[in-house]
Structure 1
């Protein structure tokens, strides 16, 4: 596995992911997730929907980066992911993380490929810039997909420890038990990495979209621990 994948999936990577709960904070506020027993279902659902979508676009982006595609391809990828993200709050969160990741990535893996991507999309979606960085560093589409699929569950899991005071060892075990599912999502994403952006999968998660919008409204009315 390319080192770039481990760096991007590391919670210490300065991309700003630590301020996002992936919908977990809203689920906790609604008492839909209250204990460790509730966490696997939430994480698995997120992985198979938002995680699968992110993995598909990360794999496609890694595929594109390794082939030095024309700059307009980046804009097409970005627009297609935007179209598959109906929640404005989700789009804002993805672009905020994407911009932070791009800034850190430009220092770690400077490349004309990244320069071309940012010229087309100055605030790219997070999965697209993650995939591009993996491709720039020499990684494979499946590795890029695995990184963002893992982040789709590790971020909310970490948030659960902070929001609910859960045992971090037990929460880590929940994430570890999702290993086969993460690999399956990454493999499926890699299989479609070479498709035209318009033909990439579009798994939806209406509940997460609604949680994101509700969280954004509540964030304006009261202090929340996470930005999304």
Structure 2
């Protein structure tokens, strides 16, 4: 198991396309639900325990070697918003390109062939971790970190929030991230039917509205 590999995969500069997405932060800023670091922390904490938990479970299951075709169906069932399903597949396709260049493997090739238009990003993330010699815990931690670091980075750009304050938010969330990752891994070992299905209805609703904006800074 390579800890350096985990750092590469979790690095925000890994070319998987996540920088173009706000994780729902852009519509939240426009609606006035995120105005400062305190609001950002509340938003990220909610996203962590819903979308983050669900994504981490899928990623951990993929890293364990569970059937990616069945996991894709499970991801669809856990993503009621068509806009977010499209985003997840687009991000999965982008991550697949980066992953196959970085850690080539027959499993990644097979998944890419099965889903030429992309599968859900957490599944690709988990299989990428597996190809990098990482375990389900690593995949889950990557997923939960992404679930909060994306909005934090976006809010720095959207509100000109002090980057130090945004980073402090992530640091305060670290214990919760560990807890959520642990829950996700435990569920993954129980099988696909036991994977988390936590939902965030407001994120689903605002994602649909955001997708129709004629002008926006972030793709989602």
- TM-score class, shorter: over 0.9
Q: Distance in 1 between matches of 2:172 and 2:29?
A: 22
TM-score under structure 2 length normalisation: 0.96
Give the corresponding residue for 2:63. Answer: 62
Note if 1:139 corresponds to 2:140: no
- Which segments of 5 or more consecutive residues in structure 2 lack a partner in the other structure? none
Aligned to 2:143: 148
Q: Which residue of 2 aligns with 1:18?
A: 19
Query: Once superposed, what is the RMSD of the aligned Cα atoms?
Result: 1.2
Q: 2:95 aligns with which of 92, 101, 105?
A: 101
Give the Cα–Cα distance (whole angstroms) in 2 for the partners of residues 202 and 135 of structure 1: 23
More displaced stretch, 195-204 vs 108-117: 195-204
Report whether the alignment pairs 1:224 with 2:216.
yes
Q: Does 1:185 align with 2:180?
A: yes
* In 2, Cα distance between equivalents of 1:115 and 1:104: 12
Q: Report the Cα distance in structure 2 between the residues aligned to 1:118 and 1:4, rounded to whole angstroms.
A: 21
Aligned residues: 218
* Mapping of residues 137-216 of structure 1, within 5 Å: 137-216=132-211
CA distance in 1 between counterparts of 2:114 and 2:6 reads 24
Q: For 1:139, what is the secondary structure of its paired residue?
A: coil
How big is the shift at 1:83? 0.8
Equivalent residue in structure 1 for 2:69, among 75, 79, 84: 75
Determine helix, strand or coil for the equivalent of 1:110.
coil
- State the Cα distance separating 1:195 from its structure 2 match: 3.3
Shift of 1:8: 2.0
In the alignment, structure 1 segments of 5+ residues that lack a partner are: none
Q: Is the 8 A contact 2:188 2:194 kept in 1?
A: no
Deviation at 1:5, TM superposition (A): 2.3
Counterparts of 2:42 and 2:29, CA distance in 1: 13
The correspondence of residues 40-51 of structure 1 with structure 2, limited to 5 A, is 40-51=41-52
Query: Segments of 4+ in structure 1 off by > 6 A?
Result: none
Contact 1:34/1:164 (8 A) holds in 2: yes
Report what 1:91 is aligned to.
85
